[in-house]
């Protein structure tokens, strides 16, 4: 299936180290079923619990994720 349009999902996060991987996995499952190309943009709002590191790890593995 050719995906012509692009969808951007922007998610602000603050101290969500434990929740980010879960959200990412569930969101990715849903987005892959849609007839759109997509990107996921996480906006880290100064987290101090290691959220930034988790986001960077996800972004390194998935080119559709931006931090």
What is the tens place of the pLDDT at every residue in 25-56?
999 999 999 999 999 999 999 999 999 999 99
Give the integer Cα–Cα distance in Å for 46 and 24. Answer: 19
Give the integer Cα–Cα distance in Å for 50 and 2. Answer: 37
Span 3-28, pLDDT tens digits: 668 999 999 999 999 999 999 999 99
């Amino acid at each position: 299936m050719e995906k012509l349009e692009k969808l951007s999902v922007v998610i602000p996060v603050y101290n969500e180290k434990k929740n980010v991987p879960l959200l990412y996995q569930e969101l990715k499952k849903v987005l892959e079923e849609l007839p759109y190309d997509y990107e996921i943009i996480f906006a880290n709002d100064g987290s101090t619990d290691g959220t930034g590191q988790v986001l960077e790890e996800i972004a390194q593995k998935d080119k559709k994720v931006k931090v």
